[in-house]
Copies of this chain bind each other. A is one copy, B any other.
């Protein structure tokens, strides 16, 4: 698989775990050998696996969390590091997101995620039927 495709595959897996509220898979998608960080929309930046995973436990365990789909993902790969820019469609709103990955044991794993509000209307995004946004 080309690098970009394998990074986008890991990015899709992240949003699939998010959508499925699958904390076990979410945990596996984040790096184990590097320090990690996460900036949820509006939150302070969480640093370290304990804080980050505690936040995902709260978010994925909340039945009131709206559905999420990833749109317009673009991968930027540089050796064993990569980042993806994309948009998140969440309950009719659009967030802009950055996901940073490193190659660990042959797998692209997340080391950082940031998402924040974006002025784009939902209608400006690619169709949710793209590979990365199966609902």
Contact = CB atoms under 8 A, between A and B. Distances in A.
A102 B116 CA distance: 23
In the assembly, how many copies of this chain are there?
2
A44 B79 contact: no
6 contacts: A34-B78, A37-B85, A44-B118, A45-B87, A78-B81, A85-B112
Interface of A: 34-35, 37, 39, 41-45, 47, 74, 76, 78-81, 83, 85, 87, 96, 98, 100, 102, 111-112, 114-120, 124
Given A81-B81, A81-B102, 16 more contacts: A34-B76, A37-B74, A37-B76, A39-B96, A39-B118, A42-B116, A42-B118, A44-B120, A44-B124, A79-B79, A83-B100, A83-B111, A96-B114, A98-B112, A114-B114, A114-B116
